[in-house]
Amino acid sequence: MKQSIKSQETKSRIFEAAKQILQENGYEALSIKHICEQAAVSNGSFYHHFKSKEDLLSYYIEEQPSVTQHLVELHTVEDLIRNIARVYIHYASYCMELGVAFISAYYNPKNQALNHDNRTLRAYPIITAEKLIEEAMAREIVWLQEPVQSVITDLRMIVIGNVFEWCVTEGNADLQANMQRSIRLYLSAVCRPFTS
């Protein structure tokens, strides 16, 4: 228990150091050496917790508190759309907590954690959306006009677009409302009630 608390404190210290570097100097200044110096930890300690700086950034983006799965109702197409929108509104809220400077630096073309080919199973929002869609299809609630992976890719691009808009407006765009509107419009267009 004590070791677990100490480990979490070290992870938090590493993240806070990375967040401060990103906010003050941008993604270009974010190196493992710089993070370790700022957090007052060894390189070994960093690598004990994270594989790379991208893994560190992804961890805090993707390990957000999740929407409680057992509370999700899934009986209709509207349930599916509402629940996926809820997942991403929750993600938008978490982005807002981390702040424009951090998110602007995270959504950087040099950040290979954003490359879907490098995704881990930890990618909470997109994995949750995919599972919800697959469950709705398995229950014969919905059929898609596009393959599941195409829908997941489209959702990822919609989310990135909304986050980008929020970042370039310095947080003045209504990220949650924009996210909800665009995701609901898209899913309403591709999700159809299953008919036998």
Q: What are 65-102's pLDDT values in tens digits?
A: 555 554 468 899 999 999 999 999 988 998 898 888 88
Closest CA to 183 of 94, 163, 62: 163
List phi, psi (to 5°) of 76. -135, 170
Q: Residue 60: is its pLDDT beyond 70?
A: no
Average pLDDT, the chain: 85
The residue with greater pLDDT, 169 or 98, is 169
What whole-number percentage of the chain has pLDDT above 70? 87
Average pLDDT of span 35-63: 84
The residue with greater pLDDT, 31 or 2, is 31
List phi, psi (to 5°) of 142. -140, 150
Q: What is the CATH T-level fold of the domain 2-50, as seen in this structure?
A: Arc Repressor Mutant, subunit A (1.10.10)
The residue with greater pLDDT, 36 or 195, is 36
Q: Residue 156: is its pLDDT beyond 50?
A: yes
What whole-number percentage of the chain has pLDDT above 90? 47
Q: What pLDDT was estimated at residue 70? A: 47
pLDDT band at 20 (very low <50, low <70, confident <90, very high): confident
Burial of 184 (0-12, 13-18, 19+ CB in 10 A): middle
Q: Residue 121: is its pLDDT beyond 90?
A: no
Where along the chain do its domains lie?
2-50, 64-193
- State the Cα–Cα distance between residues 151 and 131, nearest whole angstrom: 12
